[in-house]
Amino acid sequence: MAKHKKNNLLVLSPEQLQSGGDLPSPAEAYLNTLSPAGKRTQFTALNNLAYMFSDGKSSNALTFPWHLLRYEHTSGLSAQMVDVGYAKATVNKHLVALRRVLEEAYRLGLYSDYNDYYRATAVRSLRVESLPRGRSLAMKELEQLVSACQSDQTNPHLGIRDTAIITLMYACGLRRQETVDLNLADLDLDSQKIRILGKGSKQRFVYLSQDAVPAIETWLQIRGRQLGPLFTRITKGGKVSLKRLSAQAVYYILKCRQKEAGVASFSPHDLRRTTITDMLEANIDVLTVSAIAGHASADTTRRYDKRPEDTKRAAAEKLRSPFKTTEESGEPPNLP
């Protein structure tokens, strides 16, 4: 069969592209293992890969014949993506999606030869060295955000809820998805403890500071004590429902409050970065911070550290130098 090559990338032929429609879908099998947020991200990545491996003739990952990919196809993917302008970190995310979908193709029995599958997945990730993204918010900015919520006269119930969301996200270093996944049953205000469902369905317990509790209690006075999601939707008329918020809703809430407060732009994840940075700056050991943040590795926690350069300079000043000036040593100068 003739080989079709597009720049660095060997692509499937039109005849090969027709062979995936009636078979089990490896892409669907892989996506079913992910959280809703992960599913959206990786579905987009798989559609991009299908587009590239078909030379633009298909962008449907669900019907793409993944089992026909061999090392001669996958080995050129990184170079092709870098050539067209993808960042190395983005390339690596696509490689993760590629390896996982080919693994599902093998599990579904679509690869007749294990060696074909093994070689196709043997593509190395690119080495990435980049500066940390995002920023850390100052306490004054956090206070401005909460003040904007508390000043909401149009819908005071929204202001009370949003105050609780911002307070809890900062107090516990929560991700957006973790925030909306919280249920009332996860909250134990008597012990000031909250159970969090993190990435990979891993659970962890985080403790609230005494200062954070009143914001949650005030919200519960509005929400009520019915079992269900902790943070719920509120109508324009201020009526509270028990419908769960989405992660996108949290993004929208923070963006609106940021504009109302006159605070510089930040991402929802920057609240989490701020929590981790502030804990490290308070000299809490990195392993404890890692456990609170739900990181699998302390190295991941260190990448979140947004302490300014002044902190590093102050740390350097705490080290004694073996070099002594003549005045300090009390000895005559050793001149040539």
Catalytic residues: 175, 199, 269, 272, 295, 304
Per-residue H/E/C for the chain: CCCEEECCEEECCHHHHCCCCCCCCHHHHHHCCCCHHHHHHHHHHHHHHHHHHCCCCCCCCCCCCHHHCCHHHHCCHHHHHHHCCCCHHHHHHHHHHHHHHHHHHHHCCCCCCHHHHHHHCCCCCCCCCCCCCCCCCCHHHHHHHHHHHHCCCCCHHHHHHHHHHHHHHHHHCCCHHHHHHCEHHHEECCCCEEEEECHHHCEEEEECCCCCHHHHHHHHHHHCCCCCECCEEECCCCCEEEEECCHHHHHHHHHHHHHHHCCCCCCHHHHHHHHHHHHHHCCCCHHHHHHHHCCCCHHHHHHCCCCCHHHHHHHHHCCCCCCCCHHHHCCCCCCC
